Amino acid sequence: MFTLLGIAFTTPWLLLGLVALPILWILLRAVPPAPIRRLFPGVALLLGLQDDESHTDKTPWWLLLIRTLAIAAIIIGFAGPVLNPKDTSPATGPLLILTDASWASARDWPQRIGRIEAALAEAGRTARPVALISLSELPAGGLPFQTADTWRSRLPGFQPHPWAPDPGALQEWAGGLEGTFDTFWFSDGLARDGRLKMLASLEARGNVKVFESPRPVFGLRPARFEDGTIRLTAVRARTEAQDVQEIRAFGLDPAGIERELVTARAEFDAGSGLSEVELSVPAELRNRISRFAIRGVRSAGAISLTDDSLKRREVALISAGDAREALELLSPTHYLEQALQPTADLIDGTLHDILLANPDAIILADVATLSPAEAEAITTWVDDGGLLVRFAGPRLAASDVSRDTEDILMPVRLRAGGRRVGGAMSWGEPKSLRRFQETSPFFGLTIPDDVRVSAQVMAQPDPNLSGRVIASLTDGTPLVTRKNLGQGQVVLFHVTANADWSTLPLSGLFVQMLERLAISTRPARPDAADLAGTIWVPTDLLDAFGEVQDAGTMAGIAGEELVAGQISAQLPPGLYAGEDRRLALNVIGAEDALGPVVWPVGTRVEGMNVARETLLKGFLLCAALAFLAIDLLASLWLSGRLSGRQGLSVASVFVVALMVAPRADAQSDEFALNATSEVVLAYIITGDSKVDDTSLAGLRGLSDALFARTSIEPAEPMAINLETDELSFFPMLYWPVTPEQPLPSLEAYVRLNRYLRTGGMIVFDTRDANIARFGTSSPNGRKLQKLARPLDIPPLEPIPNDHVLTRTFYLLQDFPGRFLSRDVWVQAAPPDAELLEGMPFRNLNDNVTPVVIGGNDWAGAWAVGRTGNMLFPVGRGVAGERQREIAYRFGVNLVMHVLTGNYKSDQVHVPALLERLGQ
């Protein structure tokens, strides 16, 4: 292929024709234009006059230039120019297409697929076997070489994954490659371990070409909550330029609709791959944030799901010991406050006020008796999902609460008095804690050695006691018991909340236990030990594009894996729900950084853009045609044939032809504006100009009547072309039926049906009620049947006497137009509509009838000319004028019916309503 200035030619020898252009120039100059014949009486005076020069008016140079350009464009066009020609040095042998298909590829996935498709197409042309491998989902076994067409058909199902390729598996896989093949590697541009080794093992098999997108890769680390602010860290792979990204926080608004709640700007300095953002957000808003996202980056890496770590629970502390004047350290709630302060919002106040605030948890520290009202209120709150935590103490031990029968707000029955061990007056040693059972929420927590319990309240042995114990002492006596109540829980610590009875509140275990009970919030990400023995079930999963999707019925994940595990197919990023809390697993970890791949020197790296071959032939031939058109006009003008009015009209034809296309939009805009600025009645164009004029005049007359008599003030009626015009602007279409009108196209029927279903009304008028009855007895009737067959028309019936059309504005029983036939059909009332006692009308269907079918030539009766004169006679004399008046009234009722629906039907109930209101 001959290439010139980046343009190749399929038949370059045709370009030799360009040599002929100068000759053409000379020829064109020599040949005079064709003469015009003119009748001119003065010719007698011309006889004998000789032309001064032997040749004609010189063709002006610019006309010659236009012609030469046209010819040149034709020659070049037929020479087959191709822009961006592919260098088709045919490669042979198998081709391996690798793609990282990770979350970082998701942002420009369509381009990648497009480039892969181009590569496949090229391979298909040269019949190379191809294997297409996604590195994040390695196939088992060898390379699946198949024809390119097979792969192309599977390409649409090829999706990126929200995890990165596993370096270990990759290395193993790359080691197992056999045979020779060329490789196209579609890299996501992120540095990863083992990339270079992989490259080396691929290069050992054949040529490797790497494709990388120049688009920057961004990531968002999980949000942290520190010192009352949310801290976000955005990371990026390329650090050269300065950049600003907008980070948006999404969450549910009070109405339960997901919205953008907060936005922040992450500014990257040049040379820096990190950008810290601080967000100070009110607690209410913060608790609602469900995820952060970098604006405009469609990738799972740019999404950071939030879990409970951002949320601060509201905990109410209520103790009975307020009256006691004592040291702060002896206060029943001191240790609780210390433990909860950093991670929860504490609420003070009376129990009633607190319940109004609907806290997540209420802690009652040694509160024995509650008033019945309080007890009832708390029970309701717990039923709705509240967590009530009670601590024992001297008061509880001394009270009769839950002694004989189990109190509803206590998990167990208590023995009187409680017990003390290891004191000065008692036998035995203070007890330590027994290892937590697997069923316990505390399972996995390590128990410090120095936790000792010296006093406790004792549970009555009950059949269900063992199921309610979630922590016990070494001697088996319960330390913490729990029961479910409705959707909530009641938890009882059998010791005090201060250090009076045990050293538990002094230990770190106390804080961990509160965390596990979801009373407090975990301050930072839990480690494996924290989550040992827990199972987490995914609820929402992120796909590679950063879309949150329902997890379906995925199996649960062990807590240790969740914390430690790398994100993979087994552990996809998303939200995992454990007992009482949720944990977010994001693509970018808290410490992850991104970096660009540094390919070794000599690797062929290309961008994603496919420089498509563009055939320029069409453009050039169009240009030639345009030149010839200009030449035509110019020649006409030069030879004097394009002068005066005739010339103007020719020129205007050209100009109009050039301007037709852009005007279509403006026209449809204008149409929409005209149709929607006011109420506009519309009629269907039948093609019969007489009928159409009558329709227009009729609707104009009806519009005038509406304007004069009602609050509907319609604008000038419009004509509707079913094939091109939008119908939804019009409340009502008047459709006169002529036997000659063409059937609308299928698309037009689709739009008509949509119009009918969405509340539009079509008035069919066969205009032949003077000679025919409803049915197929006339050509118009038969045409109507044909027209209406594809329409979605409900069962019909003649207008019943109590139809709302009979009273939407005027009280009517006849619906005449120019003709007086009772055959006017509307949508049938439902069969179960019955006449109630004392009601003048049946309680009829609630919607507007989609069609009114009749033959009374209503438009003819309504028709007025521009000057307001009636166009057609109706009946004779006074009776005829009366009939015209009734026809107008029917029109008014019709439009009222369309615009107000069954409002008048509902008016039936007004007396009853007034009676009820006591008027």
Partner 1 sequence: MSQAASIRSRAEGLANALPPLMAEAEHLAATVMLGAHGRRRAGMGDEFWQYRPAMPGDEARSIDWRRSARSDGHFVREKEWQAAQAVSLWVDDAQSMDFSSDKNLPTKSERANLLAMAAAILLVRGGERVGMAQLGPPRSGELQLIRIAGALTPGSDRPDFGVPVVRGMQSHSRALFLSDFLGDFAPFSAQMTKAADRGVKGAIVQILDPQEEEFPFRGRTIFQSMGRSISHETLKASELRDRYLHRLAERKDALSDLAKRTGWSFHCHHTSATAQSALLWIYGALGRSN
Where does this chain bind partner 1 (CB under 8 A)? Answer: 32-47, 49, 51-57, 638-640
Which residue number, 23 or 43, has a Cβ lying nearer to partner 1?
43
Q: Please list the residues that pair with 190 across neighbouring strands.
A: 596
What dihedral angle (degrees, nearest 10) is formed by the CA atoms of 439, 444, 450, 453?
Answer: -10
Beta strands across the sheet bearing 208-212:
130-134, 95-99, 182-187, 208-212, 604-606
Least distance in angstroms from the C-beta of 628 to partner 1? 20
Which residue number, 58 or 295, has a Cβ lying nearer to partner 1?
58
Phi and psi at residue 834, in whole multiples of 5°? -130, 155
658: CB partners within 8 A, 6+ apart: none
Least distance in angstroms from the C-beta of 813 to partner 1? 60
Per residue, the 3-state secondary structure of 647-698, as one string, reads HHHHHHHHHHHHHHHHHHHHHHHHHHHHHHHCCCCEEECCCCHHHHHHHHHH
Which residue number, 58 or 324, has a Cβ lying nearer to partner 1?
58
Residue 350 in tokens: 């009376």
Q: Is 457 exposed, middle or buried (0-12, 13-18, 19+ CB in 10 A)?
A: buried
What dihedral angle (degrees, nearest 10) is formed by the CA atoms of 524, 530, 532, 537?
Answer: -40
Least distance in angstroms from the C-beta of 645 to partner 1? 10
Which residue number, 38 or 876, has a Cβ lying nearer to partner 1?
38
Q: Rounded to an integer, what distance in angstroms lies between the CA atom of residue 886 and that of residue 813?
A: 9
Which residue number, 26 or 121, has a Cβ lying nearer to partner 1?
26
Which residue number, 642 or 864, has a Cβ lying nearer to partner 1?
642
Which residue number, 33 or 176, has a Cβ lying nearer to partner 1?
33
Residue 742 in tokens: 């063409």
Q: Rounded to an integer, what distance in angstroms lies between the CA atom of residue 349 and that of residue 743?
A: 77
Q: Rounded to an integer, what distance in angstroms lies between the CA atom of residue 307 and that of residue 433?
A: 31
Q: Using alpha carbons only, give the angle 255, 257, 262 rounded to the nearest 5 degrees.
A: 100
Which residue number, 34 or 244, has a Cβ lying nearer to partner 1?
34
Least distance in angstroms from the C-beta of 66 to partner 1? 17
Residue 80 in tokens: 């087959």
Which residue number, 55 or 154, has a Cβ lying nearer to partner 1?
55
668: helix, coil or strand? helix
Q: Rounded to an integer, what distance in angstroms lies between the CA atom of residue 575 and that of residue 596?
A: 29
Closest by Cα among 724, 726, 680 to 898: 680
State the DSSP H helix or E strand holding residue 208, giving kind and residue range, or none if neither. strand 208-212
Least distance in angstroms from the C-beta of 4 to partner 1? 40
Least distance in angstroms from the C-beta of 790 to partner 1? 52
Any idea what DSSP says for residue 489? E
State the DSSP H helix or E strand holding residue 262, giving kind and residue range, or none if neither. strand 258-268
Question: Quick check: 715 and 682 in contact, CB under 8 A?
Answer: no
CA distances from 220 to 233, 277, 373, 585 (A): 6, 11, 50, 12
Closest by Cα among 720, 783, 723, 721 to 747: 723
Which residue number, 643 or 652, has a Cβ lying nearer to partner 1?
643
Least distance in angstroms from the C-beta of 644 to partner 1? 9
Q: Rounded to an integer, what distance in angstroms lies between the CA atom of residue 648 and that of residue 642?
A: 7
Which residue number, 57 or 172, has a Cβ lying nearer to partner 1?
57
Which residue number, 13 or 40, has a Cβ lying nearer to partner 1?
40
Which residue number, 37 or 866, has a Cβ lying nearer to partner 1?
37
Closest by Cα among 74, 83, 75, 80 to 7: 83
Least distance in angstroms from the C-beta of 649 to partner 1? 14
Least distance in angstroms from the C-beta of 69 to partner 1? 23
**Residue that is written with structure tokens 């003469």 in the block:** 35
Q: What is the largest CA-CA distance in the chain?
A: 155
Q: Using alpha carbons only, give the angle 886, 887, 890 rounded to the nearest 5 degrees.
A: 85
Least distance in angstroms from the C-beta of 648 to partner 1? 15
**Residue that is written with structure tokens 């207008």 in the block:** 799
Phi and psi at residue 129, in whole multiples of 5°? -70, 140
Least distance in angstroms from the C-beta of 115 to partner 1? 59
Which residue number, 53 or 240, has a Cβ lying nearer to partner 1?
53
Residue 247 in tokens: 């980070």
Closest by Cα among 107, 113, 111, 101 to 245: 107
Least distance in angstroms from the C-beta of 80 to partner 1? 38
Which residue number, 51 or 325, has a Cβ lying nearer to partner 1?
51
Which residue number, 285 or 651, has a Cβ lying nearer to partner 1?
651
Which residue number, 40 or 427, has a Cβ lying nearer to partner 1?
40
Least distance in angstroms from the C-beta of 55 to partner 1? 7
How many alpha carbons fall within 13 Å on the CB side of residue 620?
Answer: 19
Which residue number, 22 or 32, has a Cβ lying nearer to partner 1?
32
Q: Rounded to an integer, what distance in angstroms lies between the CA atom of residue 726 and that of residue 682?
A: 11
What dihedral angle (degrees, nearest 10) is formed by the CA atoms of 672, 678, 682, 685?
Answer: -40
Q: Rounded to an integer, what distance in angstroms lies between the CA atom of residue 660 and that of residue 702?
A: 35
Least distance in angstroms from the C-beta of 41 to partner 1? 4
Closest by Cα among 158, 99, 95, 157 to 125: 95
Least distance in angstroms from the C-beta of 643 to partner 1? 9
Question: Quick check: 253 and 284 in contact, CB under 8 A?
Answer: no
Least distance in angstroms from the C-beta of 681 to partner 1? 44
Least distance in angstroms from the C-beta of 63 to partner 1? 12
Least distance in angstroms from the C-beta of 34 to partner 1? 7
Q: Rounded to an integer, what distance in angstroms lies between the CA atom of residue 146 and that of residue 143?
A: 9
